[in-house]
Structure 1
Amino acid sequence: MSLHPRLVEVTERIRQKSQPSRDAYLGRVAAWAAKEPVRKGLSCTNLAHAYAAAPAGDKIMLREQRQPNIAIVSAYNEMLSAHQPLEHYPEVIRRAAREAGATAQFAGGVPAMCDGVTQGQAGMELSLFSRDVIAMSTAIALSHQMFDATLCLGVCDKIVPGLLIGALQFGHLPTIFVPAGPMTSGMENKEKARIRQLYAEGKIDRQGLLEAEEKSYHGPGTCTFYGTANSNQMLMEIMGLHLPGTAFVNPGTPLREALTAESARRAAAITALGRDYIPLAQVIDERAIVNGLVGLMATGGSTNHAIHLIAIARAAGIVIDWTDFDDLSAIVPLLAKVYPNGGADVNHFHAAGGMGYLIARLIEAGLVHEDVQTVMGQGLSRYAQEPWLDEGRLAWRASPAQSQDPKVLATVEAPFQPDGGLRLLAGNLGRAVIKVSAVQHEHRVVEAPAVVFDSQDALIAAFKRGELEKDFVAVIRFQGPRANGMPELHKLTPSLGVLQDRGFKVALVTDGRMSGASGKVPAAIHVTPEVLAGGPLGRVRDGDLIRLDAEAGVLEALVPAELWAAREQPTADLGGNEHGYGRELFAAFRHVATGAEEGAMSFMLPQ
């Protein structure tokens, strides 16, 4: 089927505005590419250091410098359930590489913090910038000039974007992402949300809440709701950086181990030393970025990617903004209902047909670019397949032609809603994004007086005092990257949800982030420019009438123009978030961070 004309239009617009920076990026990549291992340029001392501790057989191959050497860059730690399975991946990879006539070395580890642990705590103020630390750590791991390909082991929120941003600085190297998969299903997500609201209302105690949380997060693997971590896995698949069908296979299964081993063999096969050279810079182009945007809309993915995908694109010399998101959202139907957009979890999504079914339907509808390069070769159609074990051997077969559960995966002809999950809001408060896939239509337009706060804790305290039993728009300012590192404000969800359930018209407007699990309460987030940078959100005062209209894309303070223009910006009291928990070390990051619509980056990529 021919491509949708709007898809073609947006892709061409991105290509044109990106041409100078993209050409410069590809020029640098071409200068780094070589048909021989780059380690041939190292001195004997350099080489001896690099494989001094290698096993004897690997040492011979590394000394001969004729066979591929694969870098393993891992975000393993035991605290992230999604990353705990990665502990044993390096040995699986090394063994598979040897079988393929290659070697693999653990090149470096990158930090991996868990937003689920730091959510609502001071440590969350390091979360967004951990992405940039991960990118730099990836670059350090690959800087030894010893490698012909890269395997990136990571799953969660800032980790996959950071790994990809770092790897793109070595765009001449083939790169494959190797995930761990989701944990098995625990407590139903809607029940978990219900218990959280009961706790917010004081109707159950902390012990009851903890028991529910332990039933939800109970074993190795990724959290099963469709937040940023699982949105990452969707993106890596639809952008052609996974092996097909890899995203949502549970850890600790024979199929998962087979996919991990095959990732190593495939990485060895696509280096410049062979006949099927597929560098990362060829995989991530304008079409792949657009495919990622389409996947985000079709699944109601994480709002965090309104920041991360922009930063990823810029690392490849590609310029996108929220207008591109919004234009694609208008033509891409919502095809998945996964919590918080529905009752299912990602295991149900996978069982219903998963990524193979989704990608096949998008290709048929002309809503993605099929003619892209992937780590499997030319064509996204390779990803309309699912892996399986055929008498113990890894193989692929066509994904189901029909949804195995129409309540979880829909068709393009009869979608859950006719447009995508993310939208742009604009007006005299700036530009913002809103996730609407989990917001009921009757809650998508809110016009109510503002109640202004400088922290999420202040709002929760007001809720507990009974001061918010009314229609209102919560304005939470000084939450942008320069102010405090832009922590997620997911801690607000239960309280605002309670008030909405009581029949009040409520909404959130903030220059901070909400969450990959943004839910049923309308939230205009990432408002840019942020208040600390002089953004107009700082002019809002208690009682100002605010209009948030997700249908028309409007975010406005209904204040007379003369009065609005005369107002001064508030003074920020940031002393409480500059010290402790390592925040001192990130002062420079906060000082130079770009705005949310520019990727909230703390470094300037060459353009």
Structure 2
Amino acid sequence: MPVHLDSPAHPVHPVLAAVTARISERSAGARQAYLTRIRAAASRGPARMSLACSNIAHGVAACAPADKLALHGETRPNIAIVTAYNDMLSAHQPYRDYPDVLREAITGARGVAQVAGGVPAMCDGITQGRAGMELSLFSRDVIAMSTAIALSHDMFDGALLLGVCDKIVPGLVIGALSFGHLPMLFVPAGPMPSGLANADKSRIRQRYAEGAASRADLLAAESASYHGPGTCTFYGTANSNQLLMEVMGLHLPGASFVAPNTPLRRALTVAAGRRIVELTALRGGAAPIGEVIDEHAVVNGIVALLATGGSTNHTMHLVAMAAAAGIDVRWDDFAELSAVVPTLTRIYPNGVADINAYQRAGGMPQLIGELLGAGLLHDDVTTVAGHGLSSHYREVPVLEADGEIAWHRGPSDSGDKSVLRSAADPFAPDGGLRMLDGSLGRAVIKVSAVAPEHRVVRAPARVFEDQEEFLAAFRDGQLNRDMIAVVRFQGPRANGMPELHKLTPALGVLQDRGYAVALVTDGRMSGASGKVPTAMHLTPEAAADGPIARIVDGDIIELDAETGELGILVDPAELAARPCARVTATPIGTGRELFDCFRTAVGPADRGASVFGSAVFGAA
């Protein structure tokens, strides 16, 4: 295994070093087995050269004549394009023209490009509160399998991965790591221009929940927020994905948050096409994705997520992505790092600014520079840009007069300290995500948008089996009191672990009325979880007979985000003697019946909520 020596200019924080060492030790066997496998694949050279003549003839039948000849030999790399394009997702609509742009760039770099396959890409924003949301988390593993199918033809020397949103990027990473001997590069599409301010959108949502705004008012506000091509501008899972891909070395430097349909965005896309050709073994490259995603890169991803209060979904996705590379990450690792990683950003829902304001304030180069300077990132990593974060990822891409990109060192200070601060002057001394543990199990909480006075709630439970039941009680005026809402049977085994965003406005209304409220659930809230304390991803889940299945109305629950405790104030013997609640209905309709095998096979949230078991990944 490679030895990492971080630069003396960037000595790592002792906690960062200790957590990384623990992960490496825990993962040693699985990681070595993974590296042995991908290095053996790399040693065999371009796989297409071992294909039978009939096989390769099929593979190049639709290519241009010159490309056919090129792929008959060993001199020109063949680059796979795996795309999540569809024009329903605003973030993915810009990908429509990417294959032609990339093909031209790759041809100019003396390579060949083929669209190897497409992967599904669903929009969580459309399916919120609908039956389709129960397929959302499982779509990640379907995407991983679809990526593997696309690359399984053994025709390729490298790949470009086109994906932005929630489950799509983690799924592409997991699938790509099965072909870890190949270099791969993510090509982002960028965020849409800022629309209606997020604070105004949130206010309209709460007014609608109270009955003080009409559906027409709400639709007008939502349409002004989500109004054009590009990623939604709040800091949810999609933009967390982009941040992670850059800090983990799978984007070109500074590429994450450049707007779609701009000259700079196109130039970055062209540069990605040229760069992937340079990274292939035929050109002497040395950045296979299975080597780029190592223990140091994974820890860097966790740190960046914590420092920005990113999506809670990544407490599962990062675990699953790491496992695909033979790396065993635990929630304890997140918790230990969170205690020493300061919160450096305020991006909605953790503030009022959007992702475009973050980009203007200095964005990724500034964030990476601050974290490196504080010893909170590993500098000694391999990336698609070369070696070392400080060598490349503190730079800003600038479009030159000739249409080419030059990278220049970014500014030394934030351009807006209400959005992005230095490590010496953070918004908070610790991270925006924390872990909870106690007699109810283990859960995740996002505190970056929760005011300190709301971080400890001790109140009677009110139990619901789904969010519609909660909303009906809210509309009937039954919830105007101190309360911890327990929404259960929302875990991966029960119904695929949907996001429960429809609860957010109503809970916000109750908090604004002066009540002490919180939410405990085995479901998800993702990057949009906000000002109400929410213990989510609770494991063991209700469908696995976790303690949450034994809670009854009136039980006193204590959620303490400061101490990390989540408990029920009921005698343990009494709680254990209670029967577990049961939900016997099988999800049917909207395709849910097709995923029964996934619900049966899925693992717990703290192990990535994946249907791929340890036999595949090798991690215990």
Query: Which residue is equivalent to 1:154?
Result: 163
* Deviation sequence 1:121-157 (CA, Å, 0-9, x none): 0000000000000000000000000000010000000
* Deviation sequence 1:99-125 (CA, Å, 0-9, x none): 100011000000000000001100000
* Deviation sequence 1:400-420 (CA, Å, 0-9, x none): 111000000001111000000
Alignment partner of 1:29: what SS?
helix
Query: Which residue is equivalent to 2:228?
Result: 219
The one-letter code of the counterpart of 1:559 is V
Q: State how 1:176-215 maps to structure 2 within 5 Å.
A: 176-215=185-224
Check conservation: 1:483, 1:574, Cα contact below 8 A: no
Q: State how 1:402-441 maps to structure 2 within 5 Å.
A: 402-441=413-452
| Matching of residue 568 in structure 1 with residue 607 in structure 2 | no
**Distance in 1 of aligned mates of 2:187 and 2:376:** 26
The one-letter code of the counterpart of 1:148 is D
Query: Which residue is equivalent to 1:250?
Result: 259
Q: State how 1:7-46 maps to structure 2 within 5 Å.
A: 7-34=16-43, 36-46=45-55
Q: State how 1:150-549 maps to structure 2 within 5 Å.
A: 150-381=159-390, 382-391=392-401, 392-549=403-560
Check conservation: 1:425, 1:524, Cα contact below 8 A: yes
The one-letter code of the counterpart of 2:562 is E
**Distance in 2 of aligned mates of 1:51 and 1:408:** 50
**Distance in 2 of aligned mates of 1:253 and 1:507:** 43
Cα distance, 1:35 vs. partner? 6.3
The one-letter code of the counterpart of 2:393 is Y
Dislocated runs of 4+, deviation >3 Å? none
The one-letter code of the counterpart of 1:531 is A
Cα distance, 1:279 vs. partner? 0.6
Cα distance, 1:502 vs. partner? 0.5
The percent of aligned pairs where both chains have the same amino acid is 61
* Deviation sequence 1:559-586 (CA, Å, 0-9, x none): 12221221121122333xx210000110
Cα distance, 1:65 vs. partner? 3.0
Alignment partner of 1:50: what SS?
helix
| Matching of residue 131 in structure 1 with residue 140 in structure 2 | yes
Alignment partner of 2:260: what SS?
coil
The one-letter code of the counterpart of 1:386 is V
Query: Which residue is equivalent to 2:130?
Result: 121
Q: State how 1:578-597 maps to structure 2 within 5 Å.
A: 578-597=587-606
* Deviation sequence 1:434-462 (CA, Å, 0-9, x none): 00000000000000000000000000000
**Distance in 1 of aligned mates of 2:227 and 2:283:** 44
Moved more, 134-143 or 596-605: 596-605
The one-letter code of the counterpart of 1:545 is I
Alignment partner of 1:457: what SS?
helix
Check conservation: 2:323, 2:617, Cα contact below 8 A: no
Check conservation: 1:228, 1:516, Cα contact below 8 A: yes
Give structure 2 stretches of 5+ with no counterpart: 1-9
The one-letter code of the counterpart of 2:176 is A
Cα distance, 1:217 vs. partner? 0.3
Cα distance, 1:539 vs. partner? 1.2
Cα distance, 1:536 vs. partner? 1.0
The one-letter code of the counterpart of 2:321 is I
**Distance in 2 of aligned mates of 1:539 and 1:584:** 27
Alignment partner of 1:185: what SS?
coil
Check conservation: 2:446, 2:533, Cα contact below 8 A: yes
Moved more, 277-286 or 76-85: 277-286
Alignment partner of 2:336: what SS?
helix
Moved more, 191-200 or 554-563: 554-563
The one-letter code of the counterpart of 1:344 is A
Check conservation: 1:35, 1:272, Cα contact below 8 A: no
Query: Which residue is equivalent to 2:119?
Result: 110
Cα distance, 1:515 vs. partner? 2.1
Cα distance, 1:309 vs. partner? 0.5
The one-letter code of the counterpart of 2:105 is A
Give structure 1 stretches of 5+ with no counterpart: none
The one-letter code of the counterpart of 2:143 is I
Structure 1 length-normalised TM = 0.99
Alignment partner of 1:273: what SS?
helix
Cα distance, 1:603 vs. partner? 2.0
Query: Which residue is equivalent to 1:91?
Result: 100
**Distance in 2 of aligned mates of 1:35 and 1:410:** 48
Query: Which residue is equivalent to 1:100?
Result: 109
Alignment partner of 1:146: what SS?
coil
**Distance in 2 of aligned mates of 1:471 and 1:574:** 31
Query: Which residue is equivalent to 1:47?
Result: 56
* Deviation sequence 1:43-96 (CA, Å, 0-9, x none): 110011001011122122112232110000000000000000000000010000
Check conservation: 1:34, 1:272, Cα contact below 8 A: no
* Deviation sequence 1:441-500 (CA, Å, 0-9, x none): 000000000000000000000000000000000001111001000000011000000000
The one-letter code of the counterpart of 1:411 is S
Change (3 A) 1:603 1:168: same
Check conservation: 1:423, 1:436, Cα contact below 8 A: yes
The one-letter code of the counterpart of 1:399 is G
**Distance in 2 of aligned mates of 1:309 and 1:43:** 39
**Distance in 2 of aligned mates of 1:562 and 1:121:** 38
**Distance in 2 of aligned mates of 1:34 and 1:63:** 20
The one-letter code of the counterpart of 2:70 is M
**Distance in 2 of aligned mates of 1:185 and 1:171:** 37
Check conservation: 1:89, 1:260, Cα contact below 8 A: yes
Alignment partner of 2:281: what SS?
coil
Moved more, 353-362 or 565-574: 565-574
Check conservation: 1:473, 1:546, Cα contact below 8 A: yes
